[in-house]
A and B are shown apart, each in its own frame.
Chain A
Amino acid sequence: MTRPKQIQLSHGGGGEETNSLIHDLFYHHFSNDTLLAAEDAAVLDVKNKIAFTTDSFTVSPIFFNGGNIGKLAIAGTVNDLAMMGAKPLYLSASFIIEEGFTFADLESIVKAMAEELKHSGAKIVCGDTKVVPKGAVDKLFINTSGIGEIEKEGISANHLQEGDVIIVSGDVGRHGAAILMEREGLGISGDLQSDCATLWPAVQALIDANISISAMRDATRGGLSAVLNEWAEQSAVCLEIEESSIPVDEAVQGICELFGFEAFDFANEGTCILAVPQKDVQSALDALHEVEVTKKATIIGQVSRKKEGRVILHSAYGSSRYLDLPKGELLPRIC
């Protein structure tokens, strides 16, 4: 096939052009037996209890410092499975492409997806491609769904217990801040990378170390604030957090100073929060520190009964306040 420079409507027409796009691009990079079987549906062999999730990715801009929409589409869905203690196995990938999108960009996005899949070993086993007229979508939207085999049961936002310790796997807010930095019109720049990453290796390390995990969630939209508030409410407990122990990258703090934001309201795409019983804290930290993406995991607080359903931030100088859900317009499309 002569490589097209741009994706045209014909690439979504279901005919020859569609076929060549699928074969030369998607099959080439996502190659595996189930996908190459090219049936109407993928036939999967799963014996245990499974977790199933889906997410659509519409981030703007589609290329950002630290990743692109493709990397995000894999890490996002894989992380949702991992957070339920499920080993990510099979993914679907659907592309809705705006007419005129460059082939080169599409290829680098697909390559990033293939690369990111290596971190969990999951495979793309089915997919779909649509091309829509110019203006009908903003460049490219991707949907991924995923199935994972549950290796550790009982992880739930409803399972936090008094005395559990809250751990964050890394510094917070870098994805949201990185996207904000790329936003046109703000005229800011800096060396700030999205934290976009696959968390399965870290979860696997926790499972291998036989850590009890009450709850675990990746802090995507709404950031740390959203996860903590959801937990406090769903488990009817109080989360008491030491503000000074929340790790924040300096450049993220810089963006917060500039616009009056809080780092814990910003999205993450490769950072999770865990609640583990006191007895397992040290071994959990040891396990996380062995894995690259979570090597800076640290304790930020604990679960109490002080004020059920609320998150309390304690300052280093003796005052405290509620940490509420982020409100208002924060960002454009971040995922």
Chain B
Amino acid sequence: MCLSIPSKVVEIDECNMATVDTMGIKRHVSLDLIADEIHIGDYILIHVGFAMNKIDEEEALQSLELYREMLEAMEEEERRQVIESDDNCENRTQA
């Protein structure tokens, strides 16, 4: 019921309706509930035929960046653990 999907604005007409693209599927949504000025190329959340808001690209990118850093830190940690366990291995055979 609260299903809302991020979509990209590809066209805006004079009736305040936008054509949005969701992974190659296009449809019309109303911009009547949006106070911000919407431009082509903006990302908006759509719900039952209306745009609900403009997605904050900066915030989205920051979240994605945070996840990337988290993965890097974790990989680094794992690498360290592998090396440590390797160092502690007594039965190491010479390569």
Within the complex, are A and B direct neighbours (CB within 8 Å)?
Answer: yes
Chain A positions near chain B (C-beta within 8 angstroms): 181, 186-192, 250-251, 253-255, 257-260
Contact of A250 among B5, B23, B28 (CB under 8 A): B23
User: Does B16 touch A at the CB level, under 8 Å?
Assistant: no
Residues of B within 8 A of A253 (CB): 23
Which of B23, B25, B26 has the most chain A CB atoms inside 10 A of its CB? Answer: B25
Residue of A nearest to B5 (CB): A257
Contact, CB under 8 Å: A188 / B24: no
Asked whether A192 lies within 8 Å of B24 as measured between CB atoms, the reply is yes
Task: Indicate whether A250 sits within 8 Å of B27 (C-beta atoms), given known contacts A257-B5, A258-B5, A260-B3.
Answer: no
A255 touches B25 (CB 8 A): yes
Is B22 on the interface with A (CB-CB < 8 A)? yes
Chain B residue contacts of A260, Cβ below 8 A? 3
State A275–B23 Cα separation when bound (angstroms).
32
A-B contact count (CB 8 A): 36
Interface string of B25-37 (1 = CB under 8 A from A): 1111000000000
**Can you pick out 8 interface pairs between chain A and chain B where the beta carbons lie within 8 Å of each other?**
A188-B27, A189-B26, A190-B26, A251-B25, A254-B22, A257-B22, A258-B27, A259-B3
Whether B24 pairs with A187 at a CB distance below 8 angstroms is: no
Q: A181-B25, A251-B23, A254-B25 are in contact. List 5 more A-B contacts (CB 8 A).
A: A250-B24, A254-B22, A254-B23, A257-B5, A258-B25
Measured CB to CB, the closest approach of chain B to A253, in angstroms, equals 6
Tell me which residues across on chain A come within 8 A of B5, comparing CB atoms.
257-258
Instruction: Assess the A192–B25 pair: CB atoms within 8 A.
Output: yes
Give min CB distance, A261 to chain B, whole Å.
11
Chain A residues with Cβ below 8 Å from B27 are 186-189, 258
- Which B residues lie within 8 Å of A188 (CB)? 25-27
